[in-house]
Each structure stands twice: as C-alpha cells, then as structure tokens.
Structure 1
Amino acid sequence: MALPWLESARVWGYDTVEPRNANQAPTRLAVLFCGNGFHAGEWWASGDGANMELGKVLEPLRDLTDRMLFISGLYNEEALKGNIHSSQTGNLLSGAPIASGGDIRSGASFDQVVAQSLGNTTKIPSLVLGCEKSNPAVHKNYSMLYSSHISWASPTAPTPLELYPALAFDRLFKDSASQADKSVLDTVLASAHDLRRNISVNDQRKLDEYLDSVRHVERRIDDAGTRGELQGWKPTLRESNMPRPSEGIPQDISEHMRLMCDILVLAFQTDTTRIATLKLNNDHSALRFPHLGVDYITHHLLSHSDTPDWLKVNQFFVEQLAYIAKRLDATQEGEHTALDNSMLMFCSSMLTGQHDATQLPVVLLGQGGGKIQTGRTLDYSQSPNRQMCRLYLSMMDKMGVHRDRFGDADEPLSEV
C-alpha cells in the first residue's frame, strides 16, 4: 500500500503500474505450451492482414489471422547449451542459465514476475494449469522437472502445477479469503503501527488522516456492492457458467485439455486472475492420442519424424489455442472483447522435434488492450538481437510491469 509523502521518511522511489481508467477492462496474459516442437515443413506464416497465409500446423487459426501476430527467429541462447528437452524447457520463460547434474536451478519466469507485481489485485495471483504429470527423473544429466514446468516462482521452485480440473475449478470459486478479499487496511495494519512509532507527530497525524480516508472509501465501495451498483469495470461473469468438473484426471486427453481451456477462460471472465499458464503437455511427452487414431506411439517419439500423424497431433494442440481465443472473443467488454484485452502466447521449447532451438515457434493472439497491432508476421532471424526475452520485456510492459532487463535482454521488441 502506497503512503503519502512524509517529512520524516526518506523516499527513494518505488515501482508502480500504469494507471487504468475505472471503466476499462484489465489486460490479461496467458501462455500455452506444447512440448517437442512442430512439423518441420508446416510451421510458418507469411503476409499480413487478409492476405496472410498459414502452414498446415496453424490451419485451426485461419479465422483468427486478423487477431494474430506470428513471430519467427527469436531464440534462447542458454537453451542451446544442453541441447536436450529439459535444458531447452526449464528456462523457456526466463532465459536464465540452468543447473545440470540433477540439480534444480533456473530463473523466475516472466509470468511470475508479472504475478508478483499485479497478483494482489485479484483473488488468485496466477493460474498454473497442466495436462500431464511432472516427471522427477534425470535425463542426460538434467532434471526432467525442467521439461515438466514452464512457470517458475523462483530459481529453485517451479510454480505448483494444477492437473485436476475439479481442483482448479474450486480454486476459482471456493469462498476462502485471500489477500485481495481483505480490507487493504486490515492487511497492512501491523506495518502501519510499526511505521507510526518511527515518524514525527505531524507525520503521525497525516498518516492517521490518510488511513481514515482509505477506510472511508472502502466502506463506500462495500455499500455500493451491497446495493448492487456497478462502480467502474466489473467481471463479465459473477458466477460460473459451467458445471464443476468431475473428480480426478480425465482419461481422455481431449476432454482434459478442453476442461483446462474452459477454466482458463472462466478465470479471465470472472477476473479471478489476469495471469495464466497452460502446459498442454511435457517436453519429452508420453501422451498418446487415441481419439485422433494415433495410439501406437508417444508424442515424444512421434515428434522425431514429420508424418501425417504428427501434423494431425500438432493441429490438435493448436485447436486448443483457437478454442480459448474464440471463447474470449465471444465475451464482450464494452466496445471490445476479452480477446482484444488479452495476450495469448502459444509456444514450444524447440521449432521441430529434432531439438532445433536455434529459433523458437511463437504465435500471439489478442491485442493486449489495444497495445498490439495484430494481423502481421515478424521475422527476427536476421536480427543481431533476437533474444526471446525481448518479447517478454514487451509483454510485461503491456501489463504495466516495467523492467530495464530480463534474462539476457535489456530492451523490448519495439515492433510488438
């Protein structure tokens, strides 16, 4: 909680987020991950606007090209050092060096940097979902926990992953108080008392007046809520529009993924969180796809050959992105839609199943609250500064979280 200027407290400046109009819907950020890369000849896009052409992997996004930004040529230099799934995934969203020898040490991912700055504005700081269990084994000198997690709360702790749709649903709607549900003053009261002992009498009076004014505003907001008045922007849904999922993990991977997609959309619609990651599978994935007629081989092994079945599986994963985007686009928020107010990043830790991480596959959907010009393709393959972390700096900026440096990048992508 920010304080007024005090004569007896030296101020060296503080981080803040950009002010937002009370009637403006917030910007949301979601990262969807698909392990093992894509079909070598069919991940591409060219042209702009209505003339954009797509490779077959991206065919499910055909109706969304005007909301899409296709980015090629970016890479993560640290991921090239191990040239194995775990070493290419453990730092995908951080660009940090990772430890080998079975140790766990990476870097905080950019989604969690945003969550640590903005998470206290919503019930849940971030929603971290997955569709395949973590693998604690070691593969070629690297822990496979790296290939099982894309979101990292700290260099040594991956963010806890929710695999169970019912538990993820409960987290959105169970009536348990979080910091965002409490009075601001109740949350900081102890700190305020400590501060009061160390400031002048004039500042004590100023602090008391300030806290009283905050409490008065809180009570007015509470009263308005009781009367049913809308004060500024409100979530588009007041309660769930889907039934609670069944207990356990669905045996059908198609059902599992679709439930997790629905929960992500629901979290954004209700403003329960504004930051989410959805790991559709692990890198080095063992998933099979009987509903596609591809039950004879695991996802990982299938990725090593560009067969028609591999293309079919690729398209299935891209369909999950398209489904989320279309549901958000059907959610109206004033003159815009929830998709307009979101950034959905779809990515993998390698371009192809041959461990090619010299450039990474990236698609963005949504306009980030009007801050992203979509309907374009951007190619950084010939750029001397093509760090993936430059994209993260740009996305963090659009969320109102500004950093001079992140990972191996010290400037955002000006074109994004």
Structure 2
Amino acid sequence: MTNQPNTHSVSRRRFLKGAGGAALSLPWLESFTGHCLAGSGGKALAPAKRLAFFYLPNGITRRGFFPGEGDRPLPKFAGQNNVWRFEGKTVPVGNHPLTFTPTLAPLHKIRDKVSLITGLDRIFQHGTDSHAQCASCFLTSVAPFKVKNSAYPLSRTLDHIAADSIGRATPYSTLELSCNDHKNNIESIYFDNMSWYNTGHVAPSMRNARKVYDRLFGTRSNTRFRNITDLALGNARRLQRRLSTSDRRKFDEYLESIRTIEKRMDRIDSMKSKLAAASIKRPAEHLPRNEYIHLMGDLLVTSLQIGITNVGSLMVGPERWTTPTNWEGILDKPHSHHAMTHAPQNHLEDLLKLDRFHVSAYARLLKRMDGIEEAGGTTLLDNTIFTLGAGMGDGTTHQYNDLPLVVAGGGGGTLKLGQHVHCKTGTPLSNLWLTQLRCLGIDRKSYADSTGTITGVLA
C-alpha cells in the first residue's frame, strides 16, 4: 500500500468530521447529487470504476473446480515448470453457459454477476521457483528474460498501472492485504506478495487486521478513543436530518458496517487477553482462520465502498510456506496447504474443502458488494472488476497453464457476465489483464506479453 495519501482533492466525497480532526469518508448518497451536479456543470457524475483481486495460493484441485474434469484422475506430484493438460472431456473454445462445479457452487446465488474464464496461460521464466513466480508475476507476466538484471519476469504490476489512472483521486492509490499471519519468514518476499511498484520494489501487503483498520479508518488524533464512529456522532446526527429516506438507510448501513468491523476487532482483542492470561501454551493462531479471511475481505470492500481506494488486492495465503496452519471452522486439524497439494490422494477431501471455502469467502464479498447501492441504480459490484484467480493451474503438477479464474462485477457496464469463456490453448493471461485495463477506460495497445484482448468477456 502506498505510504502517503494522495493530495488530490476528492470533490465527489463528503466526510463526517469529529473531535480532534477525526474524519470518516462517506459512501455515495443521492442527497448530495444536486451538489455534485452543480459542481460539474449539470452533468451527472458516473460512479468510480474499481479493480480488485482475490488471490488463491498453491493452485486448486482441478476436478472440483473445472467443468468437465470431475472424473479426471488425481495427478501424481511433479516438480516445477510443467505444462500439463487434461486429455479427457474438454470444453470447446468459445462462450458457454455457466456450470457450477462443487468448488464453484457458492457462486450460484450471484451467477448473473460472475464469469468463469479458462484456458489462459501464465508466463514462466526458468531459473526460479514456480511458486514464487505464481504470486509475484500473476499481475505482470512480462515475457521471459525481457526484464534486465531480474531472475523473475516481473515489472510494474497491473494494479499499479490501473491505479495510475483510476487511483489518483483516492487517499490511497492501491491497497494490498494478505492473510499470511505466520511470524516465521521462511520464504522470500516473492512467495508472499503479488503487488509490485516495479522490478525489485515490492508493495508490501498488510497482514494485521487491527493495523489495517487503524491505518484506513483511524486518525492521528483519535488514538485515545475506542470507537471511531463516536468521534463524528454529533455531526452524523446533523447530517441525517438532511438526508432522504433511502439515504438514511444507506447511511445507517454504512455506519453499521464500520461498527461490525469494530466489534470483530473487540473479539480479537478479547481472545488475545484471554490467551495471555491462560496457563496453557499459546496456540499457533489466535483468530479462527475463516474469520480472519472474512475480516480482511470486509476491510477491502469497505475501502472500495467509501473511496479510500479504487484498487485493491487480497492474498488469502502465501505461496508454498510449509508451516502448518490451523484451519478452524474449515478443517479439523492443522495442515500445510502446500504439503497437501503434493499428495492429493491422501488429502483430497480436505483440499476440496479448502478450495470451496476460498470460493465461498469470495462469493460472500460479491454478495455484499452487490447490496451496496451507487448512482444510477447500480451497485458497488456493478462498478468493479473483481477477479479470483491463482498463478498455478494445479498445486500437484505445478503447471502454469490453464489457470483457474473467475471475473465478477460489471466494470461499469463493460463486461458480459453469467457465462463460461474458454480461450484458445496458449492464450496469455495478460490478454485478460489488457482487456480489464481497457474496460477501466485505460487506452493501451498491449500489456506485458499480451497478444490481444478477450472479446468474449465484453458486453
């Protein structure tokens, strides 16, 4: 995440101000539309377009994710640099009705707002670990050895290129979050970061939910106050009297979303103090894994909602990292996700549970975004391009082709959704990234190793 807020004026936003200069940015409210129209020469201001990513580490179990692969044999472990393709029933190139496999089933309730994209390949540069390239090069995909003095095909990542255009008027141009709360840094930064300012210059992700909250919603003057919303309570009451009935409901929902996050923070603090006082060995994790991932996702969505940023990413875990993780609420005992992918014959059910949970966490965020109203009868999801994906097509084969990808949100009406788009074998992942840049209104002839756009995803 950028270290300094941008200084550009945010004329389309209103703020609640309280004691000590504390401020809360507000979501879009129709009651301010007249003010915005007057300031824009009478022309309606379209909602901002946003871009977000939900990254899955260590690939996925293909038979649960991909349509037509439910009966594929479980592959045996293979080292890095593999290109492996299923030779059974395959999906023809083109656009097809969306099929919900067991892993994709959580997306069914929001099926009209998502598309499955298959057949895309990620670039690989020989000489470095496949897992490290999965994360660090997922959003860049520079052709092999085109970047001088780098062991990775890594340049400025897609999120920062997009933010150069759509992130200039927000307090933070980009937001990078990660659900890796391991304290043992046994891997290099390339395994644990997907966002890069440029070659060799990482945009480090934030992992501690409390610190993320304080950074985004706190102020220098409010550290002695427990509840940030209390700082602006008086101003909020005055503002509510000026709002329409529908705006009051949205305003209440917005404040409640902030309070909900604060309540979760209270539960985290409560658990920490209880564990510290107990005469037992402290568990490896103090927060249930499922709640941790949900909370970080909520922080991302709220940041997009209120205009703290228009571009964000969430890694639900690091690549490789062999330290066992407590998967409370998901699995019955600690496991290393990476280690399980090397022996799917022994861990198939647990791997499928993890994959389904990750997709359900993504679906949960999509549903929430689709309930947040914006101008013109649209929702936050309608104005966002939110991609779920992995930089590895299978955690067992370590293949970097035929990646699992789901694109959600309308991109401001630029995307065609509710379909399965299967691309021609060998189509670069960067073709999807170039397509998304253009949907955001960013005019580029090419991106990384792209060969064109994916017209099948366009409205």
TM range (shorter): 0.7 to 0.9
Residue 313 in structure 1 maps to residue 351 in structure 2: no
3-state SS in 2 of match to 1:42 = helix
- Are the counterparts in 1 of residues 66 and 101 from structure 2 also a CA contact under 8 Å? yes
Aligned mate of 2:100, from 54, 64, 72? 54
Q: Which amino acid aligns with 1:54?
A: F
Residue 168 of structure 1, CA deviation: 1.2
- Other-structure match for 2:391: 349
Aligned mate of 2:54, from 32, 55, 58? 32
In 2 relative to 1, CA 100–293 (structure 1 residues): closer, same or farther, beyond 3 Å?
A: farther
Residue 76 in structure 1 maps to residue 122 in structure 2: yes
- 1:97-136 equivalences in 2 (<5 Å): 97=144, 106-133=154-181
- Other-structure match for 2:138: 92
Measured in 1, the distance between the counterparts of 2:388 and 2:126 equals: 20
How many matched pairs?
A: 342
- Other-structure match for 1:322: 363
- Other-structure match for 2:25: none
- Other-structure match for 1:372: 415
Deviation per CA, 1:332-377: give whole Å up to 9, x if none. Answer: 2241211111111000111111212122111011111111010111
Measured in 2, the distance between the counterparts of 1:408 and 1:155 equals: 16
Aligned mate of 1:242, from 260, 265, 269? 260
Residue 399 in structure 1 maps to residue 440 in structure 2: yes
User: Identity percentage over the alignment?
Assistant: 23
- 1:11-410 equivalences in 2 (<5 Å): 22-45=44-67, 52-78=98-124, 82=128, 84-96=130-142, 97=144, 106-133=154-181, 137=186, 144-175=188-219, 240-244=258-262, 245=265, 246=268, 250-285=286-321, 286=323, 287-306=325-344, 307-334=348-375, 335-354=377-396, 355-382=398-425, 386-410=427-451
In 2 relative to 1, CA 256–128 (structure 1 residues): closer, same or farther, beyond 3 Å?
A: same
Residue 82 of structure 1, CA deviation: 4.6
In 2 relative to 1, CA 57–277 (structure 1 residues): closer, same or farther, beyond 3 Å?
A: same
3-state SS in 2 of match to 1:153 = strand
Residue 305 of structure 1, CA deviation: 3.6
Residue 100 of structure 1, CA deviation: 12
TM-score (norm 1): 0.73
- Are the counterparts in 2 of residues 81 and 87 from structure 1 also a CA contact under 8 Å? no
In 2 relative to 1, CA 51–76 (structure 1 residues): closer, same or farther, beyond 3 Å?
A: closer
Residue 137 of structure 1, CA deviation: 4.5
Deviation per CA, 1:282-323: give whole Å up to 9, x if none. Answer: 111443413223424211111224411110111111111001
Measured in 2, the distance between the counterparts of 1:175 and 1:156 equals: 31
- Are the counterparts in 1 of residues 141 and 153 from structure 2 also a CA contact under 8 Å? no
Which one is further off, 58-67 or 92-101?
92-101
Residue 45 of structure 1, CA deviation: 4.0
Measured in 2, the distance between the counterparts of 1:78 and 1:84 equals: 8
Deviation per CA, 1:52-101: give whole Å up to 9, x if none. Answer: 32211111111122111110011112257656211332211100347999
Measured in 2, the distance between the counterparts of 1:321 and 1:171 equals: 23
Q: Which amino acid aligns with 2:121?
A: Y
Deviation per CA, 1:120-146: give whole Å up to 9, x if none. Answer: 2111111110010587556xxxxx321
3-state SS in 2 of match to 1:291 = coil
Structure 2 unaligned regions, length at least 5: 1-7, 9-42, 69-90, 222-238, 273-284
Deviation per CA, 1:87-117: give whole Å up to 9, x if none. Answer: 3322111003479999678211101111233
- Other-structure match for 1:212: none
3-state SS in 2 of match to 1:327 = helix
Q: Which amino acid aligns with 1:123?
A: P
- Are the counterparts in 1 of residues 103 and 352 from structure 2 also a CA contact under 8 Å? yes
- Are the counterparts in 1 of residues 387 and 405 from structure 2 also a CA contact under 8 Å? yes
TM-score (norm 2): 0.67
Q: Which amino acid aligns with 1:117?
A: S
Root-mean-square deviation over aligned CA pairs: 3.5
In 2 relative to 1, CA 103–388 (structure 1 residues): closer, same or farther, beyond 3 Å?
A: closer
Measured in 2, the distance between the counterparts of 1:22 and 1:137 equals: 52
Which one is further off, 127-136 or 116-125?
127-136
Measured in 1, the distance between the counterparts of 2:447 and 2:148 equals: 22
In 2 relative to 1, CA 289–366 (structure 1 residues): closer, same or farther, beyond 3 Å?
A: same
Residue 325 of structure 1, CA deviation: 0.2
- Are the counterparts in 2 of residues 130 and 278 from structure 1 also a CA contact under 8 Å? yes
Measured in 2, the distance between the counterparts of 1:26 and 1:151 equals: 22
In 2 relative to 1, CA 75–390 (structure 1 residues): closer, same or farther, beyond 3 Å?
A: same
Measured in 1, the distance between the counterparts of 2:129 and 2:148 equals: 12
Q: Which amino acid aligns with 1:259?
A: L
3-state SS in 2 of match to 1:41 = helix
3-state SS in 2 of match to 1:338 = coil
In 2 relative to 1, CA 176–118 (structure 1 residues): closer, same or farther, beyond 3 Å?
A: farther
